[in-house]
Structure 1
Amino acid sequence: MENKLLVFGASGFIGKNLSDFLSNDDHLETSSLRNLENLDKINSTNVIINLVGKAHDHKGEASERDFYYANYELVKNIYNVFVQSEASLFIHISSIAAIEESGSSNALTEEMVCNPVSWYGKSKQKAEQFLMDQQLPDGKKIIILRPTMVHGPGDKGNLTLLYKLIAKGLPYPLSKFDNRRSFLSIDNFNYLIKEIINKHTMVPSGIYHICDDQPIATSTIISIIGEVTGKNIFNFPLPKGLVKGLAKFGDFIPLPLNSKRLGKMTSDLVVSNTKIKNALQIEQLPVSAEEGLRRTIQSFSKS
């Protein structure tokens, strides 16, 4: 049976990839929340996917209110229409930042205490709490997903910075940092969304972490970039203290590296996806962490 899907926030990197993927098999419409009249489209759908949110503030111009409006207030608007509609499933895309942003070498599970520190993480966590506090009408379900960093064709995040650095033949200065992080390829993200839609009767309402099956060391990413670009990578291991000092300058002046970006590139952040795989009865995701990264980096070389 064809699903009738409505995706909010389909104009971004994740939204474009997901919409292209889902439209192959299902009837899909996309909508913006700039005009709330668009919400009447919800009455002709049975699954709503919310990707609306604010994550990046590269220019440092966003206020706390901007984050809470995009990541919390708009979620309440969508929820209120959802409960009045015939839609039975609401998939809300949150972020792993709702539970942890500073890093963790122990695999993060959904039961752990939330520790967001930024306006982004706190606003995402507040939206989660709002949704979890609601008494759902019979026949309706909310599934909240916390993805780790999602990457794929069209990605303009930290992987792009690493790629550009090495593709230009510049020495890699962060080899003193030895870390592992959980990522999520766009292929696995799309796969999980499709599986949830098709098997949602098996998945209880609640919060689920989604990520690739294996965490990846930054050194592995560097090796893959070197393999794809054909560059011999020259490591120039600057002392950690010096790198952190340079990154702090980037907090105040426009440099390629700042403290937030350095943390994402060099700290441990390992996440468990066991809960969602158990709910969907999946043993492993279709794309390995290394293969997903290779596909993303190959897409950079073609752009």
Structure 2
Amino acid sequence: MTRVLLTGASGFVGAAVQARLLDDPGYAVRSVYRRLPLSPFAGLEVCQVQGLEPHNDWQPALEGVDVIIHCAARVHVMDEREADPLEAFRHVNVRGTLRLAEQAAESGVRRFIYLSSIKVNGEGTVPGHPFSADDLPAPADPYGISKLEAEQALLKLAAEMQMEVVIIRPVLVYGPGVKANFRSMMAWLNRGAPLPLGTITNKRSLVALDNLVDLIVTCIHHPCAANQVFLVSDDEDLSTSELLRRMARALGQPARLLPLPMWLLSVFAQILGKKAVSQRLCESLQVDIKKTKTLLEWTPVISVDGALEKTAKDFLEH
């Protein structure tokens, strides 16, 4: 039996990883929580750690652990209030992560799987020229910089110690329970609201939660995953307009998309102070997952339409 320590178990991705591992008798799962759950899942061992801090003592949580899946992080903050955002991200994502990894290596943990971000590669691509796992990183914001620095520190540690490191950089993750902009788009479509997004011809890679979780679990044992960086997506890129049409179909609603010219949409977004949202809706971000599929003999386990149907069903039920 493989003993797994999971951080970030209460988050969107971490909770899905936990559920998947608990369904498999080949794994014993110990999950880290800042606040202990009132009623833990059957078969789950839990431990309490007060945040991802550089001074944490992880030794009690690491006892007997074979593999760590590290999903905890200070995530991208839309309404940043820190005076020095980069320092705030480094404190948690770099120094806090390295503290865990160093103690894990000293405890004999075999493999450390790190959930990073496509923001390490950059903010966008030219259509037809996707990011690859071996591209020169070009993070543009404090969150992306902190994730890159954590990756570099982990790979350096792997070169010095016996512990293997696996780095996974997901694109936008969606699935049952998704929040933020993705959920907002579903809400607008479900209301039948007209959206001025009918002529967007960008290309964006997305990854369904089921596909990301399956790749993470694949990396627990696959010998070719050691000390590698992987990008992950659904392997089908969509324009924002096409995504909205298919999302509406999954919701059982018509897609009322108005053919507003992109330049006019950009002007309105700037006037309304929503330039960043406009960029995410209109610009491209594609990834090439050939390395992931070839090296790990992995393919996505669910299609975009299948994942959208699951996401829409959960949205409508809740």
Which TM-score applies when normalising by structure 2?
0.86
Q: Which amino acid aligns with 1:244?
A: S
Contact 1:83–1:137 under 8 Å retained in 2: no
Contact 1:221–1:293 under 8 Å retained in 2: no
Q: Which amino acid aligns with 2:246?
A: I
* Aligned-partner SS, 1:109: coil
C-alpha change, 1:198 and 1:229, in structure 2 (3 Å) is same
Name the CA distance, whole Å, in 1 between partners of 2:20 and 2:271. 41
Match of 1:147 in 2: 170
Match of 1:272 in 2: 288
Identify the match of residue 192 of structure 2 among 146, 169, 177: 169
C-alpha change, 1:8 and 1:149, in structure 2 (3 Å) is same
Match of 1:14 in 2: 13
Quote the offset at 1:232 in angstroms.
Answer: 2.4
Quote the offset at 1:39 in angstroms.
Answer: 4.4
Q: How big is the alpha-carbon RMSD for the aligned residues of Structure 1 and Structure 2?
A: 2.0
Give unpaired runs (5+ residues) of structure 1.
Answer: 252-257
Further displaced range: 169-178 or 88-97: 169-178
Name the CA distance, whole Å, in 2 between partners of 1:43 and 1:146. 28
Match of 1:119 in 2: 142
Q: Which amino acid aligns with 2:4?
A: L
Write the deviation string for residues 70-121 of structure 1: whole angstroms up to 9, x where unpaired: 2212111111112101210000110011011133421211121111111111
Write the deviation string for residues 106-147 of structure 1: whole angstroms up to 9, x where unpaired: 121112111111111111111112222235456421001111
Contact 2:8–2:71 under 8 Å retained in 1: yes
C-alpha change, 1:297 and 1:56, in structure 2 (3 Å) is farther
Name the CA distance, whole Å, in 2 between partners of 1:232 and 1:151. 21
Give unpaired runs (5+ residues) of structure 2.
Answer: 34-48
* Aligned-partner SS, 1:130: helix
Identify the match of residue 227 of structure 1 among 244, 249, 254: 249
Match of 1:195 in 2: 218
Name the CA distance, whole Å, in 2 between partners of 1:152 and 1:239. 30
Write the deviation string for residues 263-303 of structure 1: whole angstroms up to 9, x where unpaired: 22221111111112222223x32112232223222221221
Which TM-score applies when normalising by structure 1?
0.90
Match of 1:86 in 2: 108
Match of 2:181 in 1: 158
Match of 1:67 in 2: 89
Q: Which amino acid aligns with 1:300?
A: F
Q: Does 1:48 align with 2:68?
A: yes
Q: What are the equivalent positions in structure 2 for 1:128-139 lying under 5 Å apart?
A: 128-136=151-159, 139=162
* Aligned-partner SS, 1:127: helix
Q: Does 1:263 align with 2:279?
A: yes
Match of 2:44 in 1: none
Quote the offset at 1:216 in angstroms.
Answer: 2.1
Further displaced range: 236-245 or 41-50: 236-245
Q: Does 1:293 align with 2:315?
A: no
Q: Does 1:34 align with 2:50?
A: yes
Match of 1:255 in 2: none
C-alpha change, 1:93 and 1:243, in structure 2 (3 Å) is same
Quote the offset at 1:236 in angstroms.
Answer: 2.1
Name the CA distance, whole Å, in 2 between partners of 1:84 and 1:250. 52
C-alpha change, 1:52 and 1:301, in structure 2 (3 Å) is same
Match of 2:3 in 1: 4
Further displaced range: 284-293 or 155-164: 284-293
Q: Which amino acid aligns with 1:295?
A: K
Q: Which amino acid aligns with 1:243?
A: L
Contact 2:206–2:233 under 8 Å retained in 1: yes
Match of 1:254 in 2: none
Quote the offset at 1:21 in angstroms.
Answer: 0.9
- Paired residue total: 294
Name the CA distance, whole Å, in 1 between partners of 2:166 and 2:199. 39
* Aligned-partner SS, 1:107: coil
Q: Which amino acid aligns with 1:9?
A: G
